[in-house]
Amino acid sequence: MPRRFLKTAPGLPPQSAADVADTVRIMLARLRAGREEAALDYARRLDGCDAAPELPQEALASAYRHLPVTLIEDIAYAHANIRAFAEAQRGSVTEFETELRPGLFAGQKLIPLGCAGCYVPGGRYAHIASALMTVTTARAAGVPQVVAVTPPGRTGPHPAILHALHVAGVDRVLAMGGVQGVAAMALGLFGLPEADLLAGPGNAFVAEAKRQLFGPIGIDMVAGPTDSMILADASASPHRVALDLVSQAEHGATSPVWLVTTHRPLAEAVLREVPRLIAALPEPNRAAAGTAWDALGEVLLAENREEMAAQADSYAPEHLHVMAADLGWWRDRLRAYGSLFLGAGTTVAFGDKAAGPNHVLPTGGAARYTGGLSVHKFLKCVTWQRAEPQALPDLARASAGISRAEGMEGHALACEARHPRATRHRVQA
C-alpha cells in the first residue's frame, strides 16, 4: 500500500558497522588470550577504573542506604510485578509425557541453564529497570547462578542499580562494562562461572560482542536502538500521543518513533506539540530526543484501521501502542511487535520500568519473527523417548525404511537390530 507521510525521516549520517565489528573482533581475541589482565587493561583505558572489578555482597546489600525511601519502594513494586509475570510465564510451559502409540513414549523436560550473564548498561542513564528485568527473569526460570556486569562510571556503579541487582537476587557482580564486561561473563574471568547465556541491552559494541560470541554461548538477541510506534484514531489525545513519542525518542539520537493515524487533525496537532515538549526537556535528553525526532520520526496517514494495522505489521516495532477504539480488535489483529500496549491508560514507559512484562525486546524489525526476553530464554526445552516391545515392529520397520530410502544403511541396521522381524530388504554388500 502507498504510504502517505505528513513527516518523513531523512535519517542519520551512515555509520560503519564494519568498524565496530572489527574493533570488537580484535578486543575479543585479546581478551581470550590475555583474560583478566587484558580485561583490566581495557577497564583502565576505556572506563578509567583501576579498582578490583568484583563488588562484595556487602556493597550490594548496603546500597539502599544511599537511596531515598520512595525509590526503594518503587524498586520493590517493579520487582514484584516483574517476578510475578515471569513466574506466570514459567507456569505456562510444563513438562509432559505422552504415549504416541502403544508402547512408544515421548516427553518434554525443562532444564534451567546453569549460569546466566546479565549486562546492565551505564552511561547517560542509570538503567535500574534493566537490572530487574534480566536477573529477576533468570531467577524465575530457576537458573542456579546469575551474574551481572555494569560499567563502573567515575565513582562506581549507581547505588540504585546495585540495590536492584541485590533485590533481584544476583549472585556476583563485576563493575566492568563494554566488550570486556561481556567477555568476562562469557569466558568466566575473575572467577565467574562461564555464562551459558548473555542477556541485557547495551551499546553497539556490547551488541556486536554478543553477536560474535553467539554459538557455544546463547544470547537473548542482538538488539539495536529502541523503536516505538503509536496507532491512534480521532479519540486519542494529541498531547498524550506527543508526550509518548517524545518519551521514547529520549532514549537516544538513534531511536526512531512513528505515529500512524486515520485522523489528520490529530497528526497535525502532534506535529505542533512534539517540538514544544522536546524543548522543555533537560539536557542531554533534549538533544537526544530532538535528533531522534528530526532524523528518524515519522507521521503517516492511513485510510482505515486495517491499513493502520498493516503498516504496523510491516514496521514490526519493538513497542506498539494502540490509542484507538475497540482494543479487542487490535489485540487480535496485530501480528508483529515486541510488546503491545493497549489503550490510552497505559504507556510504553510503564513497560520500560515497572509494569511486569520484560522490556528487553526485539528491535529493527526483528519482531517479525521473535518476541522479547522471557523465562523461556533461560530454559532448555528438551525431549526424551523410550520404546517398549509392542511398539518395536512398526517403529523399526518405518525407521529402517526411511533410512534406506535416504541411503543410510547403518541407520537401517541399527533400527532392525531392535526388532529383526521388521526387516524388509537389506542392501547386499
Q: Which residues are designated catalytic?
A: 318-319
Q: How far is CA 375 from the centre of its chain?
A: 11
Q: Are strands 115-119 and 197-199 parallel, antiparallel or unpaired?
A: parallel
DSSP string, 208-263: HHHHHHBTTBEES----S--EEEEE-TTS-HHHHHHHHHHHHTT-TT--EEEEES-
- How far apart are alpha carbons 160 and 152 in whole angstroms? 13
The closest of 224, 237, 228, 280 to 257, measured between CA atoms, is 228
- DSSP class of residue 169 equals T
Q: Which strand (E) or helix (H) includes residue 88?
A: helix 69-92
CA 100 – CA 20 distance, rounded (Å): 51
Closest to 225 measured CA to CA, from 244, 243, 242, 250: 250
Question: β-pairing, 145-150 with 172-175?
Answer: parallel
